[in-house]
Structure 1
Amino acid sequence: MHFISEELENYVANHSQKEPELLAKLNTETHQKILQPRMLSGHFQGRVLSMLSKIINPKNILEIGTYTGYAALCLAEGMQKDGFLDTIDINEELFDFQQKYFEASEYAGQIKGHLGDALEIIPTLNKKFDLVFIDADKENYINYFNMIVPMMNPGGIILSDNVLWSGKVLEELSPKDLSTKVLVEYNKLINEDERVETVLLPIRDGLTVTRVK
């Protein structure tokens, strides 16, 4: 679903910073070899993630949902020199692909990929985060949020992807559509939870920026 015309989307992308060479290569290889390449953050959203990270200048970053590693590398661009990024994904088949690009980047040694259930892995990380990006199974967004908030430094930022869900958040809910049901509840939660303040940006499929007080 396009929220603005494709022509305007192209204009926006063409008037935003170009993606780095390594990310362009990752983008191309993802589309050539990996199923569901639409899950990739891509050029424009990737530059948004990079810019937000550079503004925040985080020391510790957590990403929930690695896919092929594009967003992780974008977020790493704003990381402090001694910073570290933990990224979690449950898909074993993508792990070697991710590692290839992490190791080819200037952030090799500062990004650790975790394989498994994020709800089990997150409590073991034992650190405070400045920036978190949630882009995994929508059914667990609320669970991730409630687990993460106590692990955030004051003023830390939680980014949540796909919160417009191709416009389904405005449609009549199907009893079988758990993902949309949870996203509607999640959007309401992060807008009303007194521990945070949130703005929803209509970027691609919806991106919320949530600041922990």
Structure 2
Amino acid sequence: MSNHNHITGNQNIDLENYIETHTSQEDELLYHLRRQTHLKVLRPRMVSGPVQGQLLTMLCQMIRPQNVLEIGTFTGYSAICMARGLNQGAVIHTIERDDELESFISHYIDKAGLQDKIKLHIGDALKVIEELNTSFDLAFIDGDKREYPTYYKMVIEKMNPGGFILADNILWNGKVVDPQAQNDSYTQGILTFNKLVKEDPRTEQVILPMRDGLMMIRVKE
């Protein structure tokens, strides 16, 4: 790689800060949610954060979905960001496996005044999706990485033509290109998912190298 393209670790942090500074700032509610996540919840780095949050809001404003599916609510940051970009009458079905997070998530959904737009489901995503009698214009996959291939197979069947699927952590800390790091089940799940999508003639896709990689998949009409 030529020198002028090489970014050092420090430059990387500087760039991330620059990107965040030049992105619309999160409001007090989202800042508080993110802060409380870091104080009270295990693995707080899983929270979406202001840059990805703003992207999700703007994607919803662009796509204008009526029905949205989210797999992996965590503490609710991404669901709130998407809900804020939705038209009147549109709904997000968000699924979280960890029942201990339920009151935390509900508290912030209520605080944001988004109870009408966000329907929280606690349980196994595969079972919940099966029971949802809805087709979706947008889906955001951010659950258990080992289950990504199974999520994809279920979700694609529920998508409307022209709909979009977003999948987070698709570069998995660079492990997807590191043969030494590919033995664990999480990395295998991501690699299998990426291959599945690439080989699926029903879709077209692009990977955005932001944060830990976000794949945007469009279901052909």
Deviation digits for residues 97-137 of structure 1, max 9, x if unmatched? 00000111132222111111111110111101011000010
User: Which ranges in structure 1 are unaligned for 5 or more consecutive residues?
Assistant: none
1:201 matched to 2:216: no
User: Is residue 103–residue 109 contact of structure 1 (8 Å, CA) maintained in 2?
Assistant: no
1:121 matched to 2:106: no
User: Is residue 17–residue 47 contact of structure 1 (8 Å, CA) maintained in 2?
Assistant: yes
Matches of 1:174 and 1:20, distance apart in 2: 38
Deviation digits for residues 33-73 of structure 1, max 9, x if unmatched? 11111000011111111111111111101100010000000
**Taking structure 1 as the reference length, what is the TM-score of the superposition?**
0.95
Residue among 151, 155, 159 paired with 1:148: 155
Q: CA deviation at 1:174?
A: 5.4
Residue of structure 1 equivalent to 2:79: 72
User: Which ranges in structure 2 are unaligned for 5 or more consecutive residues?
Assistant: 1-8
Q: Percent identity?
A: 47
Relative to structure 1, the CA distance from residue 3 to residue 48 in structure 2 (aligned partners, 3 Å threshold; closer, same or farther) is farther
The structure with higher relative contact order (CA 8 Å, sep 6+) is 1
Amino acid corresponding to residue 57 of structure 1 in structure 2: R
Amino acid corresponding to residue 71 of structure 1 in structure 2: S
Relative to structure 1, the CA distance from residue 5 to residue 81 in structure 2 (aligned partners, 3 Å threshold; closer, same or farther) is same
Residue among 6, 16, 20 paired with 1:9: 16
Secondary structure of the residue that 2:179 maps to in structure 1? coil
User: Is residue 96–residue 122 contact of structure 2 (8 Å, CA) maintained in 1?
Assistant: yes
User: Is residue 71–residue 125 contact of structure 2 (8 Å, CA) maintained in 1?
Assistant: yes
Matches of 1:34 and 1:55, distance apart in 2: 32
User: Is residue 89–residue 117 contact of structure 1 (8 Å, CA) maintained in 2?
Assistant: yes
Secondary structure of the residue that 1:211 maps to in structure 2? strand
Secondary structure of the residue that 1:86 maps to in structure 2? strand
1:90-109 aligned at under 5 Å gives the runs: 90-109=97-116
User: Is residue 65–residue 87 contact of structure 1 (8 Å, CA) maintained in 2?
Assistant: yes
Secondary structure of the residue that 1:198 maps to in structure 2? strand
Residue among 144, 154, 160 paired with 1:137: 144
**Taking structure 2 as the reference length, what is the TM-score of the superposition?**
0.92
Amino acid corresponding to residue 113 of structure 1 in structure 2: L
Q: CA deviation at 1:161?
A: 0.3
1:45 matched to 2:57: no
Q: CA deviation at 1:9?
A: 0.6
1:186 matched to 2:168: no
Greater Rg by CA? 2
Amino acid corresponding to residue 48 of structure 2 in structure 1: S
Q: CA deviation at 1:188?
A: 1.6
Q: CA deviation at 1:20?
A: 2.1
Q: Say what the alpha-carbon RMSD is for the aligned residues.
A: 1.5
Residue of structure 1 equivalent to 2:33: 26
Relative to structure 1, the CA distance from residue 204 to residue 175 in structure 2 (aligned partners, 3 Å threshold; closer, same or farther) is closer
Matches of 2:188 and 2:110, distance apart in 1: 38
1:56 matched to 2:63: yes
User: Is residue 176–residue 182 contact of structure 2 (8 Å, CA) maintained in 1?
Assistant: no
Q: Which structure 1 residue ranges, 4+ long, deviate > 3 Å from structure 2?
A: 173-176
